Structure 1
Amino acid sequence: MKPVLKTLLATATCAALAVGTSACGGHGAKTAPKNAKGEATVRIMVGGLDKQIYLPAMLAKSLGYYQAHGINVQLSDEPAGVDAETAMLAGQVDAVIGFYDHNIDLQSKGKSTESVVQLLQAPGEVEMVRTDEAATVKSPADFTGKHLGVTGLGSSTNFLTQYLEAKNGVKAGAATSVAVGAGSTFVAAMQNKQIDAGMTTEPTISMLERKHLAQPLIDMRTAAGAKTALGGTYPASCLYLTTAYVQKNPDVVQRLVDVYVETLHWIQSHSAAEIADRMPADYYAGVGKDVYVKALDNEKGMYSPDGLMPADGPQTVLTVLSAFDPTVKGHSVDLAKTWTDAFVHKAK
């Protein structure tokens, strides 16, 4: 199916069904409310605002793009993406900036959501092994019996960790996933030996290396690194919403996509140091600005240059989830309904 026709077809399908519940992402989607200035208000939950993988959310605010495009965006923070998706489905927020893989997992659970703009073309994740375990844990094949840190159970880091286990011959349940969040809680879990290895992002990676607590085992901060580890392009951070919300508020969604496409273009035309200058100082207080800038410079290639879904991306993600996720494995998934490029093509 051509991506530009997808949202229209989804609308027609929901109308024909005339039920509008789980098939269309839940009933009750409302027109976005407006503030005193007449701007549409959109509540967006981010799976870790200070993570560099979600940097475009706050950068867009710093650059004044939300206001320039006539939308009142309220950003909230939730370290684990799985909790962010739950909040959206419960109507507590309107949208999520999280990993695209949640859309496939949710469709398998009878929920209809879709990514409308891709922010990352690589996960930006690194599997870090505790320094005193590095001699014995040399690959994911050595994960048997180990405690592995993830941001949350059911999160994208959990998905990726389980895939690395399955791909490298580790039997299901032979390793234990431990929810430790990110940032200081992840570092503490490593320091207190609650976990033997774990998957995290910048600037947590640099914090661990600076303290000599852990070192990289699997590096997916670049598209090439992700392809080596996962077998293909793995689109990661995106803006996703329920299909019902997209259908009810196409103008608001278009404005949001315009904002993020413009932000992605700004990232491509500015240095890591210039980007860091636009971020809140407390985002790099734990590691120092120099380390933050170096980390960002090393992984700047993970950001999408245009917001479009990589051609092989959805299938790669489905292949990964199908390897271990019982919700997805063996189920029929219509990938065309989990994303759309229609809004990106129209972005100004």
Structure 2
Amino acid sequence: MRKFFAATIAAVSLAAALTAPAAAQTPIKIMVGGIDKQIYLPAKLAAQLGFFKEQGLDVELFNSTSGSQAATALLAREVQGVVGFYDHTIDLQSKGKFITSVVQFAIAPGEVVLVKAADADKLKDPANWKGQALGVTGLGSATDFLTRALAAKAGLKMQDYTLVPVGAGDTFLASMQQGKIVSGMTTEPTVARAVKNGTAKVGIDLRTPESTRAALGGDYPAACLYMDRAWMEANKETAQKVVNAFVKTLKWMNTHSPEEIAAQMPKDYYAGELDLYVQGLREGKPQYSVDGMMPAGAPESVLSVLNSFSPNLKGKTIDLAKTYTTDFVVKANATN
């Protein structure tokens, strides 16, 4: 009889365990300023590898056409995080809005200035952009900031050229093919596609820390995850879990080949050309951080670059300590 009851209790316990609902996952919404761009690849890759679920997170990724739109969504409390460029944290603080980078994906912009193939020798020098239409993903985006910084370094003023929002991918390529722009800043996989079909050539390469320093005069850490500072401070446990997932993703990327990374991504991200996608990953791999940390002295460098052209920063004091934190990343690295 005792054996019967013991067996019955064990069976009931097993059935209860099998039918019990899974532990509730914490929902969080993150907007990406171009989810199929390789500069923001860690966002989708973390989901593909299951690292969010591992942390007990139910992450919903949203796509936007540019970083400026994504930042707007964050300020409107439509999302809890944005995968975009670190420079937005400085620009928005100048407007009284406090957002904070919690993990750094990239230590270089990963962007490329493409120039019209027929006039490449001339247009690769920003000093020759005077009177020209230059393509950016969106006005107020990081490509806007970087284009203006390069022009200012070459001695041009804002009224000397026109910025045209053309997005990325097919819309960027069409704008250059149709002559709407003669130069434009974009990222992979658009870069490889434009060069292969002969539409454009590489004018300025910002895919490595070294080439970025040569072009801008200093470091320019770019892709990151930033959050509204007040929300971050009120939800530190959730923020830590998100950072844990991203740091694990960056470490995974550092130990896997471009082919292995590409194999994890949705096939429609290849734009029909897997070989070009892999090529872009190989050439752009130096941009990615291996641990999610903010490089020493880099925030000061970004502020200096933005100060070279931005009227938003004139007369403003920026508290760089509030534009980023390494607290979450340090803890994530200790456990990953």
Asked if Structure 1 and Structure 2 have the same fold, meaning a TM-score greater than 0.5 normalized by the shorter chain, the answer is yes
Matched pairs, number: 313
**1:192 maps to which of 178, 184, 193:** 178
Distance 1:87 1:232 in 2: 30
Confirm or deny: 8 A CA contact 1:115 1:339 kept in the other structure.
yes
> Match of 1:140?
126
Query: Does 2:207 match 1:221?
Result: yes
> Match of 1:212?
198
Query: Does 2:333 match 1:312?
Result: no
> Aligned to 1:134, what secondary structure does the other structure show?
helix
Distance 2:299 2:208 in 1: 17
Q: Which amino acid is the alignment partner of residue 278 of structure 2?
A: V
Distance 1:135 1:162 in 2: 20
> Match of 1:149?
135
Confirm or deny: 8 A CA contact 1:321 1:329 kept in the other structure.
no
Q: Which amino acid is the alignment partner of residue 92 of structure 1?
A: E
Confirm or deny: 8 A CA contact 1:122 1:221 kept in the other structure.
yes
Moved more, 124-133 or 50-59: 124-133
Query: Does 2:274 match 1:289?
Result: yes
The Cα of 1:132 is off from its aligned counterpart by: 2.2
Question: Which whole-Å deviations, capped at 9, do the CAs of 1:32-84 have from their partners, x for residues lacking one?
Answer: xxx98421111000000110000000110110000001001000000210000
Query: What runs of 5+ residues in structure 2 fail to find an aligned partner?
Result: 1-20
Distance 1:98 1:251 in 2: 22
Question: Which whole-Å deviations, capped at 9, do the CAs of 1:259-304 have from their partners, x for residues lacking one?
Answer: 0000000000000000000000000034x11111111111111100
Distance 1:277 1:219 in 2: 26
Distance 1:136 1:228 in 2: 19
> Match of 2:323?
338
**1:167 maps to which of 153, 158, 163:** 153
Higher CA-based Rg = 2
Distance 1:106 1:114 in 2: 10
Q: Which amino acid is the alignment partner of residue 116 of structure 1?
A: V
**1:239 maps to which of 225, 229, 241:** 225
Query: Does 2:314 match 1:329?
Result: yes
The Cα of 1:345 is off from its aligned counterpart by: 0.7
> Aligned to 1:132, what secondary structure does the other structure show?
helix
> Aligned to 1:282, what secondary structure does the other structure show?
helix
Q: Which amino acid is the alignment partner of residue 291 of structure 1?
A: L
Distance 1:292 1:223 in 2: 21
> Aligned to 2:102, what secondary structure does the other structure show?
strand
Confirm or deny: 8 A CA contact 1:323 1:329 kept in the other structure.
no
Moved more, 98-107 or 294-303: 294-303
Q: Which amino acid is the alignment partner of residue 346 of structure 1?
A: K
Distance 2:138 2:22 in 1: 38
> Match of 1:181?
167
Distance 2:23 2:147 in 1: 45
Q: Which amino acid is the alignment partner of residue 173 of structure 2?
A: V
Calculate percent identity across the aligned residue pairs: 51
Task: Map 1:1-348; keep pairs closer than 5 Å.
Answer: 37-286=23-272, 288-347=273-332, 348=335
The Cα of 1:330 is off from its aligned counterpart by: 2.9
Confirm or deny: 8 A CA contact 1:116 1:340 kept in the other structure.
yes
Confirm or deny: 8 A CA contact 1:118 1:308 kept in the other structure.
yes
Confirm or deny: 8 A CA contact 1:232 1:312 kept in the other structure.
no
Q: Which amino acid is the alignment partner of residue 111 of structure 2?
A: E
Q: Which amino acid is the alignment partner of residue 316 of structure 1?
A: S
Question: Which whole-Å deviations, capped at 9, do the CAs of 1:304-336 have from their partners, x for residues lacking one?
Answer: 011000112101110111111111133110101
Question: Which whole-Å deviations, capped at 9, do the CAs of 1:149-175 have from their partners, x for residues lacking one?
Answer: 000000000000000111001122110
> Match of 2:13?
none
Confirm or deny: 8 A CA contact 1:261 1:306 kept in the other structure.
yes
Distance 2:305 2:224 in 1: 18
More helix by share: 2
Distance 1:204 1:138 in 2: 18
> Aligned to 1:136, what secondary structure does the other structure show?
helix
The Cα of 1:134 is off from its aligned counterpart by: 1.7
> Match of 2:9?
none
Normalising by structure 2, we get a TM-score of: 0.91
Moved more, 177-186 or 326-335: 326-335
Q: Which amino acid is the alignment partner of residue 288 of structure 2?
A: Y
> Aligned to 2:28, what secondary structure does the other structure show?
strand
Change (3 A) 1:109 1:178: same
Distance 1:252 1:160 in 2: 32
> Aligned to 2:280, what secondary structure does the other structure show?
helix
Distance 2:123 2:57 in 1: 48
Structure 1 stretches of at least 4 aligned residues deviating more than 3 Å after TM superposition: none
